[in-house]
Amino acid sequence: MLNYDCGTSEVVPSDRLFARFTKTGAQPRINEIPDGGFCISSFVILTRQGRPNEVLMGRLDVNADWERIGGLNKERAELNSKGWMLPSCHLLYGESPQDAAKRILDEQLGMSDQKLQGPVVFSDVSGPKNHWDIEFLFAGERAEAKQHTAWKELRFVDTTRLQQTDFARSHEDVLAHIGK
């Protein structure tokens, strides 16, 4: 089996198929991803100043353009509108995780001035089809949050008082990564 070094594009013989992706010559090709797909996402986790258990979460407004700002078609937006969700989105093709976090702040929260730390990076594999997620978590703190048209409700939620069924899109797993 032949692999290609990402930095030099030199052929590296090996009995393993490394996950190195380049525009030309590299293996595996895009059809080698898991059957369940592969998502790369950024999350903005804002806690209330002085209250670390209170995290800014929202119940999305299905009339907002979630296809554009969150990568959710109408059906998925409707399905996820019942639970609490973190401001988040898949990365746009070619976008850095940091730029995705800035875009989330702007498009989903109207908070372009918010300072963030991170990212902290996690990976999950789930489901019978072996779906992969790489998650970039950016954290910040604020005293208050204003409403935004993307959400029918947006507020600081005490996550210690929520049940798993209160969350949308398995976002309780994302918070568990950072001890929330």
Digit-coded pLDDT (tens) for 21-79: 555 554 545 556 777 888 899 999 999 999 999 999 999 999 999 999 999 889 999 99
Closest CA to 59 of 78, 44, 39: 78
CA distances from 101 to 125, 131, 159 (A): 22, 22, 21
Task: Compute the average pLDDT of residues 131-151.
Answer: 94
What CATH number matches the domain at 34-177, 1.10.1060.10, 1.10.287.3510, 1.10.10.10, 3.90.79.10?
3.90.79.10
Instruction: Report DSSP state, residue 51.
Output: E
Partnered with residue 119 across adjacent β-strands are: none
Buried/exposed 68-91: b ≥16 CB within 10 Å, e otherwise: ebbebeeebbeebbebbbbbbbeb
Digit-coded pLDDT (tens) for 88-139: 999 998 899 999 999 999 999 999 999 999 999 999 888 888 888 899 999 9
Domain limits, the chain = 1-32, 34-177
Predicted TM-score (pTM) of this structure: 0.84
- The SS3 assignment for 149 reads coil
Task: Compute the average pLDDT of residues 151-159.
Answer: 97
